[in-house]
């Protein structure tokens, strides 16, 4: 239905019908207007699978949903760094939605991983906004290619579960723009999601559901979003303010309470009816985008999607350690598989994204299907309590000692991370750490497979020879892990987040969760690797890191221009060769280091990535295009992106800490930042501006000759050593103009004002 037709439909609605349309009929459905033949549509969780609830609906996964396919969680699919893979997963989910009559799938979730402790990190993609935005964009395009809407979430600055419904995220403008808004921006502009879900929290004191700066000024007017804003379930605080701010659809419904408030607000002039009309148009536009494109031939193919879930896990598993090439292991070796997760893998998180999987394949089940011999299994630990059961541990230790290789499946139990609460620490259960330590003491060939939705501390890391990060890999994770362990699949995942050595190293450590309902983001733009690299801090594993069963060589980096202005683009290319003996995939990463200047910036930022597959001895050329945003920071004076003139370094790397090739480019800014000088402007700041320097130097000859300032300069040569050249220079650079009234005899305030006027009139 065309927009003009929808507008005509809205014009024929009563005030009460329009108000009613702005909230859900129940937990998952919009309202219908029977008089005008307006049908309802169904929305459903979640980002990595279909959590459709037909009865006894809830938003936290308490009640059972239909049997479905659980794909790897966001924490894992982001590790694939594979846009095509995410599009394929999105297409499968879109097809499932069509088959099940779902109009909008609630995802993807792109909130930044500010702290490893956020209980919902397993749903989120990355600590880096570029990765989050690119992966989300690919997912959105896949789902919406099936004429089903997505709901990118949770907008905005929702980075913890603690007091998430009432807390205020206190974030400065630049940090919001460069980190938290940026995760949404690219996906909204390019992917064009049908809906955006606003978060529970406040942003700088105003609830996200009634914040016109973000819902209207930035989201709609600046980014061009033309869809519908949906509330997170129960996120509405003041319904009338929310409508005015741009919050369209309240979910779930309020039983008519808020509908009546809307009607009253229109009648008493508190709310313009035109605002309500526009809201209804946006809701109906989404409704008819789905209803007019329903695919009655769509089939929910459980088997086919299970195979895709396995492929997604295989592409996303990260090999973190492979000492002495212990992996892949030979099926001829005697191997002990140890740990409850080898038989009952933890493959998803708790809460609204929890999928009722139609089947789950474990590593042990997968091995039995392959018919591998020489495999033993011991449970080793239990997950209900963090409590060592001595009998289980000793049986596991004996099995490990009798084997040639021990593979320990470890990770975080269900109750360690979930929607609704944050993690209390970054440890594995003590019983698991104890088990790993004891096995390493008697078995030098030990491999650990981790199932976790967020980084964990690893006190045993230097004792194990192999480490496989399996994250929360969906219902087919057992098959995927076995295929990687035995070399059927060459691992190609890379970490979309930094693994710190310990929790205290995280930049948000002192401020995470905040005090009461105030959470201050004091680390600013220094989130994740932006902090660790700027500080040169030790980390367990850096952002972008991951190993392969083959090797890759980089050569022939080329930047097509040595200098540009900030309105131009440059192309960067590099050749990548598989120098090993097996086919593999490499994630080629491009980083930019900023020009030196007075702006406090991270020393390096990711600005591009591409995943390529290479046969042995094959070479491919990877090309990136960089534009103004690749070099810019958010300037709060002009409230826009700005590039400082100077030399920038472009790096090609295997991770943020393994930069293999670099080149530089000089960029000239075309934006003149207005400078306003006053009595407190320093001589040093004025001298940095070419025009300011010329005016000041012209005045110096007259002002400083034979003055007290001249005497100060001569005093600097005094043999007593009380004043030296460096001290004098620093003092002069830091001197505000007003101090000339004290140091220059005869200087009048009127004369100084003339100098300031001259500086400002020249638009320095």
Q: Which residues form the catalytic set?
A: 232
Distances in Å between the Cα of 361 and the Cα atoms of 69, 229, 308, 319, 532 are 12, 38, 14, 21, 37
**364: how many CB neighbours lie within 10 A of its CB?**
18
Contact 402, 390 (CB under 8 A): no
CA distance 286 to 106: 14
CA distance 276 to 266: 9
Secondary structure of the chain: what % helix, strand, coil (to 5)? 35, 20, 45
Tokens standing for 232? 């997170």
Contact 609, 561 (CB under 8 A): no
Closest listed residue to residue 305, CA positions, set 93, 106, 509, 545:
93
The residues, ordered by sequence, that sit 6+ positions from 4 with a Cβ below 8 Å of its Cβ are none
Distances in Å between the Cα of 119 and the Cα atoms of 153, 523, 671 are 16, 20, 42
CA distance 585 to 486: 17
The residues, ordered by sequence, that sit 6+ positions from 55 with a Cβ below 8 Å of its Cβ are 63
Residue 621: which H helix or E strand, with range?
strand 619-626
Mark 413-450 as b/e (b = at least 16 C-beta within 10 Å): beebbbbebbbeebbbbebbbebbebbbeebebbbbbb
Residue 311: which H helix or E strand, with range?
helix 302-316
CA distance 110 to 74: 9
Q: Output the CA torsion 4→197→498→318 (10° steps).
A: -70
Burial of 751 (0-12, 13-18, 19+ CB in 10 A): middle
Longest dimension (CA), the chain: 98
CA distance 471 to 450: 7
Instruction: Kindly list the strands in the beta sheet with 206-207, ordered across the sheet, starting from the edge strand earlier in the chain.
Output: 206-207, 202-203, 168-170, 518-520
**56: how many CB neighbours lie within 10 A of its CB?**
9
DSSP secondary structure string, 236-301?
-S-HHHHHHHT--BBSS--TTHHHHHHHHHHHTTSS-HHHHHHHHHHHHHHHHHHHTT--TT----
C-alpha Rg value of the chain to the nearest Å: 30
Contact 445, 326 (CB under 8 A): yes
Distances in Å between the Cα of 77 and the Cα atoms of 83, 413, 610 are 10, 20, 15
Residue in the structure block whose two tokens are 């205020």? 168
CA distance 131 to 139: 12
């Amino acid at each position: 239905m065309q927009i003009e037709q929808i507008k005509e439909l809205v014009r024929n609605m009563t005030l009460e019908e329009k108000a009613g349309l702005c909230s859900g009929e129940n937990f998952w459905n919009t309202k219908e207007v029977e008089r005008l033949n307006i049908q309802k549509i169904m929305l459903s969780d979640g980002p990595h699978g279909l959590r459709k609830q037909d009865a006894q609906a809830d938003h936290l996964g308490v009640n059972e949903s239909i049997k479905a396919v659980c794909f790897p969680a966001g924490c894992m699919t982001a590790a694939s760094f594979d846009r095509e893979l995410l599009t394929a997963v999105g297409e499968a989910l879109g097809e499932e939605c069509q088959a099940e009559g779902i109009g909008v799938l609630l995802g993807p979730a792109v909130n930044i991983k500010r702290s490893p402790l956020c209980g919902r990190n397993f749903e989120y993609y990355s600590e880096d906004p570029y990765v989050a935005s690119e992966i989300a964009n690919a997912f959105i395009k896949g789902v919406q290619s099936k004429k089903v809407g997505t709901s990118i979430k949770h907008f905005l600055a929702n980075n913890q579960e603690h007091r998430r419904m009432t807390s205020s995220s206190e974030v400065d403008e630049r940090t919001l723009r460069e980190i938290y808004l940026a995760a949404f921006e690219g996906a909204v502009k390019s992917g064009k999601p049908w809906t955006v879900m606003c978060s529970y929290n406040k942003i700088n004191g105003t609830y996200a559901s009634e914040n016109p700066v973000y819902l209207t000024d930035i989201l709609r007017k600046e980014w061009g979003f033309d869809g519908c804003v949906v509330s997170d379930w129960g996120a509405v605080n003041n319904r009338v303010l929310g409508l005015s701010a741009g919050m369209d659809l309240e979910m779930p419904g309020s039983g008519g309470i808020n509908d009546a408030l809307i009607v009253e607000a229109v009648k008493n002039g508190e709310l313009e009816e035109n605002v309500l009309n526009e809201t209804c148009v946006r809701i109906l536009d989404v409704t008819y985008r789905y209803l007019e494109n329903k695919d009655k031939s769509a089939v929910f193919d459980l088997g086919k999607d299970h195979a895709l879930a396995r492929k997604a896990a295989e592409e996303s598993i990260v090999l973190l350690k492979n000492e002495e090439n212990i992996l892949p292991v030979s099926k001829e070796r005697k191997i002990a598989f140890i740990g409850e997760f080898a038989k009952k893998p933890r493959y998803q998180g708790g809460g609204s994204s929890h999928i009722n999987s139609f089947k789950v394949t474990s590593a042990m089940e997968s091995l039995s299907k392959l018919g591998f011999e020489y495999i033993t299994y011991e449970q080793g630990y239990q997950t209900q309590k963090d409590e060592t059961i001595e009998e289980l541990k000793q049986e596991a230790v004996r099995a490990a000692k009798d084997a040639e290789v021990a593979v320990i499946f470890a990770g975080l139990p269900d109750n360690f991370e979930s929607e609704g609460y944050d993690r209390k620490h970054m440890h594995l259960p003590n019983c698991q750490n104890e088990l790993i330590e004891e096995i390493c003491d008697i078995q030098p060939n030990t491999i650990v497979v981790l199932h976790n939705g967020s980084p964990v501390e690893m006190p045993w890391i230097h004792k194990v020879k192999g480490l496989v990060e399996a994250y929360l890999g969906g219902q087919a994770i057992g098959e995927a892990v076995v295929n990687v362990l035995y070399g059927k699949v060459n691992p190609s995942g890379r970490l979309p987040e930094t693994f710190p050595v310990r929790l205290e190293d995280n930049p948000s450590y002192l401020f995470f969760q905040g005090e009461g309902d105030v959470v201050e983001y004091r680390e600013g733009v220094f989130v994740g690797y932006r902090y660790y690299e700027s500080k040169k801090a030790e980390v367990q594993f850096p952002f972008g890191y991951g190993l392969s069963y083959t090797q890759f060589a980089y050569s022939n980096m080329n930047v097509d221009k040595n200098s540009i202005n900030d309105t131009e683009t440059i192309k960067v290319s590099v050749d990548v060769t598989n120098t090993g003996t097996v086919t593999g995939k490499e994630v080629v990463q491009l980083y930019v280091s900023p020009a030196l200047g007075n702006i406090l910036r991270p020393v390096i930022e990711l600005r591009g990535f591409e995943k390529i597959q290479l046969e042995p001895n094959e070479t491919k050329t990877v090309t990136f295009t960089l534009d103004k945003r690749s070099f810019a920071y958010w300037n709060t004076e002009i409230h826009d992106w700005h590039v400082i003139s100077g030399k920038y370094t472009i790096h090609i790397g295997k991770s943020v800490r393994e930069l293999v090739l670099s080149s530089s480019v000089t960029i000239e800014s075309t934006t003149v930042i207005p400078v306003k000088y006053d009595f407190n402007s320093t001589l040093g700041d004025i001298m940095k501006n070419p025009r300011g320097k010329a005016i000041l130097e012209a005045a110096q000859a007259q002002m400083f000759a034979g003055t007290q300032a001249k005497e100060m300069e001569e005093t600097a040569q005094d043999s007593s050593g009380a004043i030296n050249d460096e001290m004098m220079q620093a003092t002069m650079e830091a001197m505000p103009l007003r101090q000339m009234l004290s140091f220059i005899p005869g200087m009048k305030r009127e004369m100084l004002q003339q100098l300031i006027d001259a500086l400002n009139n020249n638009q320095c």
